[in-house]
């Protein structure tokens, strides 16, 4: 009987924490679609990543909180013209429109989506790539670690090929199998790199964000 009730107890605990989460309340007040906006906001405020960016790609963008933060930061709601700043968001899931954001729905691992992204960029190099992507998790740590590693490797490869020499990247990863390899990948790809766990990331969560600044060999 205790085993059967356990999922319910877990859900009730999550629901209680969610309702009383100060970041959830602040997101509702500020008009953000998810508390995740404050993770990117703190990363930006601590590391000064997006003060002068003009073109950003947001991988795994739904429901759009990071796009919202970037759009507000870059004042995209008032930007017009081909030379205006832009954010391009990509996700498998649909996303309601965000002012100033171009959304492309599809699988980042598919060549056809990369072609759409190239067309949207129209030859403009990127100032930043941010990735909140995460695969569907199986619960098997080794399998999930391999899936996360493969997805982040693909994102880093894209970033290294499209970022300006001084460009930056932020990617969500998880402590566990594959984590050390991704830290090494960031060190090999970027001039400076560091892990960072924002206060808005729940303490019990295994997520951590890897930050890369300046592309090696660019």
Give me the helix-helix angle, 37-47 and 65-73, nearest 10°.
40
CA dihedral 70, 74, 76, 80 (to 10 degrees): -150
Tell which CATH architecture fits domain 33-215: 3-Layer(aba) Sandwich (3.40)
pLDDT bin (cut points 50, 70, 90) of residue 112 is very high
Give me the pLDDT at residue 1, please.
32
Q: Where are the domains of the chain?
A: 1-30, 33-215
CA distance 41 to 38: 5
Largest CA distance in the chain: 63
Neighbouring CB atoms inside 10 A of 213's CB total 19
Instruction: Write the pLDDT tens digit of every residue in 47-101.
Output: 999 999 999 999 999 999 999 999 999 987 666 666 667 999 999 999 999 998 9
CA distance 126 to 119: 13
58 labeled binding residue: no
- Catalytic residue selected from 39, 41, 73, 172: 172
Mean pLDDT of 10-37: 81
Average pLDDT, the chain: 89
146 vs 211, residue with greater confidence: 211
Give me the pLDDT at residue 29, please.
95
pLDDT bin (cut points 50, 70, 90) of residue 28 is very high
9 an active-site residue?
A: no
pLDDT exceeds cutoff 70 at 175: yes
51 labeled binding residue: no
Tokens 């002012």, residue?
99
Least confident of 13-22, 53-62, 136-145: 13-22
Which one of 65-79, 107-121, 138-152, 179-193 scores highest in mean pLDDT? 179-193
Neighbouring CB atoms inside 10 A of 197's CB total 17
CA distance 175 to 207: 6
Give me the pLDDT at residue 20, please.
73
pLDDT exceeds cutoff 50 at 3: no
User: What is the DSSP code (8-state) at residue 133?
Assistant: -
100 labeled binding residue: no
Mean pLDDT of 198-202: 94
Which tokens in the block code for residue 6?
A: 């356990």
64 labeled binding residue: yes
Element (H, E) at 190: strand 190-196
């Amino acid at each position: 009987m205790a085993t059967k009730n356990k999922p319910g107890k877990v859900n009730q605990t999550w629901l209680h924490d969610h309702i009383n989460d100060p970041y959830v309340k602040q997101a509702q007040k500020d008009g953000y679609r998810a508390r995740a906006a404050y993770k990117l906001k703190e990363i930006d405020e601590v590391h000064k990543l997006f003060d002068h960016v003009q073109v950003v790609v947001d991988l795994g963008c739904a429901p759009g909180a990071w796009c919202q933060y970037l759009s507000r930061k870059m004042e995209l709601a008032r930007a017009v013209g081909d030379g205006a700043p832009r954010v391009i968001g990509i996700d498998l899931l649909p996303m309601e429109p965000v002012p100033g954001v171009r959304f492309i729905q599809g699988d980042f691992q598919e060549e056809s989506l990369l072609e759409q992204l190239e067309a949207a960029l129209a030859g403009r190099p990127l100032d930043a790539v941010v990735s909140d992507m995460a695969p569907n998790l199986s619960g098997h740590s080794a399998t999930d670690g391999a899936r996360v590693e493969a997805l982040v490797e693909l994102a880093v490869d894209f970033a290294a090929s499209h970022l300006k020499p001084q460009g930056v990247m932020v990617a969500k990863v998880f402590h566990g199998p594959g984590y050390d390899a991704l830290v090494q990948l960031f060190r090999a790809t970027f001039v400076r790199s560091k892990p960072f766990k924002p206060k808005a990331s729940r303490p019990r969560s295994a997520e951590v964000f890897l930050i890369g600044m300046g592309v090696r060999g660019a």
